[in-house]
Chain A
Amino acid sequence: MRKIIGIILLIIIAWGIGTSLQEIPFGISRAKLADHYIHNGKEETGAANIVTSVVVSYRSLDTLGEVTVLFLAAIGLGAVLAALKQKSVKESEKASLILSTGCRLLFPLILLFGAYIFIHGHLTPGGGFQGGAIVASAFVLMYLGCHKEKKINETGSILSESLGGLAFIVIGLIGLAIGTGYFLNNFLPKGEFNTLLSAGIIPIIYIAIGFKVGAELSKIIDLLMEES
């Protein structure tokens, strides 16, 4: 009964969406705003990756909000799980030699790859959030492969998280103080286009975001693994 009602409801919604989508042509034109970003983004921000220049330069205040949402979610998860904390020692088998050696070998390489992704965020596809997720995936590997023998250093995680957030805001405030004076103003020289040291504050902000997101996601994984 429930399924039939669900299917009927979905058919009605699908009909509505289908009729409205037929009016939108697929794959033809960009919006005006996107045209501005694509034609002027190269000169205005100095970043080769236009998506990065939208995320970190044109709309960087929104990115600050996004980072805050992630921070709040991590805090909420910690609060919910801390309220239910119960100590249970489970019998667990040790991981085999091949598994633990393999994960110990791969762990630094994955960290390095994550760092590469967030340092090159203004040149190649990627950036702080993606690099942070890759860093956190290295910690998932460590938890699953090395079987809880190793834990993340809590002081280090909190330190990199807060320093990342602080660096973002301090760079924004310096931009407010110098030059034309708006929040997250690009006050550094733009450098040579398409090289690592270009695009002013964008790589610095993305490195800060990478540290912050990596620390937060690995903390979420740590909390969930502790409970399971």
Chain B
Amino acid sequence: MSFLHNYIYYIGAFGLVFIGLFIMAVKRNYIKIIIGLSILEAGVNLFLISVGYIANGTAPIFSRTVLNAENMVDPVPQALVLTAIVIGLAVMGLALSLAIGLYRHFGTLNLREIKEQRW
């Protein structure tokens, strides 16, 4: 039980990563691949946040004077994830616009059918 208690965040984060990887490796629909990419991203962000966690820690904000600096969680992964989320959003927007272009050109989003068609 203590293993589960200690590593539950890592297990959850890598569960999401593996679900995303599996979708990206197996599925053939372009939209489903984008969904897999987004799940993978969520898993990686969760992992980065949980690396900086401190047991019974508080958020790194001095909103009240009673808060102790020793108990605060690591702010650096949080700042990194803030960046990663924004970049992920930009990538998602570009991928979706490419999906629109693919559908206009080929009439399908199935990558196998696209491969068989003449360009």
Contact = CB atoms under 8 A, between A and B. Distances in A.
Contacts, number: 141
A6 B93 contact: no
B90 A27 contact: no
Contact of A6 (B26, B74, B96): B26
B97 A81 contact: yes
Interface in A181-228: 193-194, 213, 217, 220, 223-224, 227-228
B9 to A, nearest CB: 7
A69 to B, nearest CB: 6
Interface string A112-143: 00000000000111010100010000000000
B52 interface: yes
Most buried by B among A27, A42, A55, A123: A27
A147 B72 CA distance: 46
Contact of A73 (B10, B93, B100): B93
Contact of A50 (B75, B83, B90, B104): B75
A44 interface: no
Interface residues of A, number: 61
Given A26-B9, A73-B91, A76-B94, A37 B61 contact: no
A38 B21 contact: no
- Tier of interface size on chain B: 35 or more
Contact of A30 (B10, B74, B96, B100): B74
Contacts of A220: 93
Contact of B14 (A17, A34, A76, A224): A17
A146 interface: no
Contact of B94 (A21, A73, A129): A73
Interface of B: 6-7, 9-10, 14, 18, 21-22, 25-26, 50-55, 57, 59-63, 69, 72-76, 78-79, 82-83, 85-87, 89-91, 93-94, 96-98, 100-101, 104
Which 4 pairs between the two chains have the least Cβ-Cβ distance? Answer: A73-B90, A50-B60, A27-B55, A54-B79
Given A10-B18, A17-B14, 6 more contacts: A48-B61, A49-B61, A50-B72, A66-B87, A69-B90, A81-B97
